[in-house]
Every structure is written in C-alpha cells, then in structure tokens.
C-alpha cells in the first residue's frame, strides 16, 4: 500500500513525466554523437557520466566541426556552469549530507532542479529529485545507446543529414528560454550568435563558441531593463499621488 500511495504522489508523477519525456531525446544525442565520429560506447559514456544535454550537444558539435577536444570541453563546461548555481539552491532544499550529497551532485540539472523546487515540502522535494534523476538518467542512457547503435548500422550517415541533428536539438533546448525571457537575455543571445557567426570563417572550430560566451559579460552591466519595467509597474499608486501633490 505504501508503494502504491507513493506512486500516486504528485512528486513521483512529476518526476516520471519529466524523466520519460526528456529522456527520449537521448535518441537524438546518440544519433548526433555517432555522426560526429564517436563510438556507441563513447556516446553512452557521455550520457551516463556527463549527463547534461546542452553541454553534450555542444561538445559533439565542436568535434563534428573538426575542433579540438579541449575547445569542445571548455564550451561544455561553460554551459554546465549553471548547474553549480542550481546545486547551491538545492543544498538548502534537500539538506543531504555526506555521500548522499555527493551522489546527488551528479543529478543536478535543469529538469531535476525545476521539479524539486516546485514541491511544497522537503520530503516531496527529495522524492521528486530522486525520481526525476533515476528515471531521466536511465532513459537518457538507454535511448542514447539505441540511437547510437541504429546510426552505426547505416552505411552512409551523411546521406541522411544526421550532422544537423545536434545543432537542431541544441536550438530546441535553447529556444524556449529565449522565448520566455526578454530584455538583456535576448541581447546576450543575439550578441553571442553574432560573435560566433562573425568569427567562424577565420578561427578553428570550437573557438568561436568560447568567444561567444563573452557576451554574457553584459549581465554584469547594470540592472536588467525588464526588471526595471517590472518594478515600475509594481510601484505603489499612492506614491505617485504624493509626488504629484509635492510638485
């Protein structure tokens, strides 16, 4: 009975839903990885130990373009740096210690963070985190293997245009964030894309990606215009009336 009640809890349902839905995207990564020249074993290793989709696609994108492993790894690390900030937040929420915290650190990604922070209490948060981590991790590795093996059996990979799978999925991961945000976030994205496009014809593969990351420095320059507008809308109307009287 306890198992049935646990499976019916919102925390478990959320974790299962996100884990299965996102985990299926491992098919695309397995396909793109083999198209970039990796073996199925290498693709599964990345999914199992790196376990952060955007960084994985960034790495194989550089490799597919003929860039060095160092440049690809640096680009992947830049994208994965956000998980460190997630970890700081989840430390307070989950409050695990010792080896539990070490094990949980590997599962700190966008999806596990979102599901965990949506829970009303610590018990539900822990349940949601573990469920999402286990289900998503298992599906991600399994579907990566399926995509890699299926692609490896194709004689001429280039005939299917599979080299475009990685960039297409990467854009799919990025686009919802740009659509939902505004102001400085879109400016950073556009500037980064411009830097990458302008330097790609002249620099080795992978280097334009690293240079594009410099666009994030805009985030250090003053408040976000979107935040200013939001603050202005939330301003107390009575203050406006007092200002008018004073003038």
158: burial class by Cβ within 10 Å (0-12, 13-18, 19+)?
A: exposed
Q: How far apart are CA 144 and CA 59, in angstroms?
A: 15
pLDDT exceeds 80 at position 174: no
196-218: pLDDT as tens digits: 778 767 766 556 666 766 666 65
Q: What pTM was computed for the model? A: 0.67
Q: Which positions ≥6 away from 82 have C-beta within 8 Å?
A: none
Which pLDDT belongs to residue 242?
A: 47
Percent pLDDT > 70 in the chain is: 66
DSSP state of 118: T
For the chain, give every domain's residue range. Answer: 2-180, 184-232
Which of residues 42 and 4 earns the better pLDDT score? 42
The whole-angstrom distance between residue 65's C-alpha and the CA centroid of its chain comes to: 21
**Sign of the alpha-carbon dihedral angle for 192, 194, 196, 198:** negative
Rg (CA), the chain: 22
67-102: pLDDT as tens digits: 777 777 887 887 778 788 889 889 999 999 999 999
What average pLDDT does the structure give for the chain? Answer: 75
Which pLDDT belongs to residue 132?
A: 92
pLDDT exceeds 70 at position 2: no
C-alpha to C-alpha distances, 183 to 121, 180, 219, nearest whole angstrom = 33, 11, 11
Q: Which positions ≥6 away from 175 have C-beta within 8 Å?
A: none
Q: How far apart are CA 148 and CA 43, in angstroms?
A: 7
- Give the residue-averaged pLDDT of 177-183: 58
- Give the residue-averaged pLDDT of 173-195: 66
Highest mean pLDDT among 64-68, 132-136, 219-223: 132-136
Residue with tokens 């003038």: 247
């Amino acid at each position: 009975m306890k198992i049935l009640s646990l499976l019916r809890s919102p925390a478990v349902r959320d974790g299962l839903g996100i884990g299965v839905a996102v985990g299926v995207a491992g098919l695309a990564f397995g396909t793109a990885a083999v198209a970039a020249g990796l073996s199925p074993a290498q693709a599964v290793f990345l999914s199992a130990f790196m376990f952060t989709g955007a960084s994985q696609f960034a790495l194989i994108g550089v490799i597919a373009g003929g860039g060095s492993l160092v440049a690809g790894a640096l680009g992947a690390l830049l994208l994965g740096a956000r998980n460190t900030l997630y970890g700081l937040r989840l430390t307070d929420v989950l409050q695990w210690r010792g080896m539990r915290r070490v094990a949980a650190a590997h599962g700190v990604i966008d999806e596990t963070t979102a599901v965990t922070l949506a829970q009303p209490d610590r018990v539900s948060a822990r349940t949601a985190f573990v469920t999402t981590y286990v289900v998503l991790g298992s599906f991600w590795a399994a579907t990566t293997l399926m995509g890699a093996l299926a692609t490896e059996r194709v004689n001429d990979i280039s005939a299917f245009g599979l080299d475009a799978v990685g960039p297409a999925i990467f854009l799919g991961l990025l686009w919802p964030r740009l659509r939902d945000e505004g102001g400085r976030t879109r400016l950073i994205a556009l500037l980064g894309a411009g830097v990458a496009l302008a330097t790609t014809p002249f620099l080795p593969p992978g280097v334009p990606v690293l240079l594009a990351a410099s666009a994030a420095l805009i985030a250090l320059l003053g408040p976000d215009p979107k935040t200013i507008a939001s603050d202005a809308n939330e301003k107390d109307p009575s203050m406006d009336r007092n200002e008018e009287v004073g003038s």
